[in-house]
Amino acid sequence: MENTTNNIVAAPYSKFSGFLKLTKLGLGSLVVFSAIVTYFTVAKDINIYAVVAITVGGLFVTSAANGFNQIIEKDFDRLMDRTKNRPMPTGVLTDIEAFIFCTFFGIAGTILLWVFTNPLCGILGFVSIILYAVVYTPLKRVSPLAVFVGAFPGALPTLIGAVAATEGFGEISFFAFLLFMIQFVWQFPHFWSLAWFNNDDYAKADFHLLPSSGGKDEASKFQILIYSVFLLITSILPFVFQFVGLISVSVCIVCGMALLLQAYNFYRLPTDAYAKKLFFVTLVYLPVVQLALMTKS
């Protein structure tokens, strides 16, 4: 009898690991951090149920969005080095398994936010899933505008955290809008620097993620610099409108100048190495600025 053992291809990791990778837990944790910090920034009285709902519900909603994205892009993920080992292209998870998992997490997260914070939070959570999976994901292969569209669901966790601190149906204050705008503008230098040093890999799947249709050109690096300037200006607005004090705005200015300096260095020497340095600075920038704004001092 012929031995077929050698023809069996073992899965690269377990299904449990596959579901974990589907959620992008590391990215989800950073997103939830933004929501929680913003909640504490805006809330007058802390509600422990709201904090738990933001943490668990926010993580569920983010996991669902990330999972749906991977289901839709599984054929393209196979083409790129950075994504080819995800659970969908490797076959660790089937489409049905992943879809059921993401649907459950999306519904559960939306319900948790709706019931234990307020309805507007639940709506914003659901909208973030739709924008990320249904609008942003397919647009990545069509136009550089995908990053602009993706910046909305990327910044909505901040808005969710702020809205969770309100009562009744929920409301969006001007302070909440300013906090949302900081994270919204931050995503452009953050994601474009990532897209720069991954441009060749993204090109394998025909993804258009740099701001210029020409890819790694003068227009792209200039826009990264300009949006870094916009970020510095936007981060000062909570002080201008008297929501925070001198210490908070001082931290925002120092962090903004550090990011702008790195963006300028990248503009002068637009190499992958400098793009990676800028990307790292953006990772440090956001939590530091959000914590500084939380103190309101």
Same domain, 119 and 229: no
Q: Taking Cα atoms as reference points, which of 214, 162, 152 lies closest to residue 184?
A: 152
CA–CA distance, 232 with 212 (Å, rounded to integer): 22
88 with 222, same domain: the answer is: no
- Do the domain assignments include residue 238? yes
Last residue of a domain, one of 172, 200, 232: 172
Confirm whether 4 is domain-assigned.
no
Assess whether 101 and 220 both reside in one domain: no
The C-alpha atoms of residue 243 and residue 178 are separated, in whole angstroms, by 10
- pLDDT for residue 134 is more than 60: yes
Domain limits for position 16: 12-172
> CA-CA distance, 81 to 219, in Å (whole number)?
27
Task: Evaluate whether residue 243 is within a structural domain.
Answer: yes
pLDDT above 90 covers what percent of the chain? 91
Please identify, among 148, 172, 196, the residue that sits at the C-terminal boundary of a domain. Answer: 172
Digit-coded pLDDT (tens) for 223-265? 999 999 999 999 999 999 999 999 999 999 999 999 999 999 9
180-212 per-position pLDDT tens digit = 999 999 999 999 999 999 999 999 999 989 999
Domain-located, residue 5: no
Percentage of the chain beyond pLDDT 70 is 96
In this predicted model, what pLDDT tens digit does every residue of 23-41 receive, in sequence order? Answer: 999 888 999 999 999 999 9
Sequence-separated (6 or more) residues with CB below 8 Å from residue 201 = 80, 81, 82
Note whether 142 and 241 are same-domain residues: no
CA distance 184 to 165: 20
Which of 153, 172, 191 finishes a domain?
A: 172
Residue 163 reports pLDDT greater than 70: yes
Residue 187 tokens, joined: 């995503």
Q: What is the pLDDT of residues 76-107, one digit of tens each?
A: 999 999 999 999 999 999 999 999 999 999 99
CATH number at 54 reads 1.10.357.140
Q: Say if 7 falls within a structural domain.
A: no
As given in the structure block, the two tokens for residue 170 are: 């929920």
**Which pLDDT value is given to residue 1?**
39
Q: Taking residues 120-139, what's their average pLDDT? A: 96
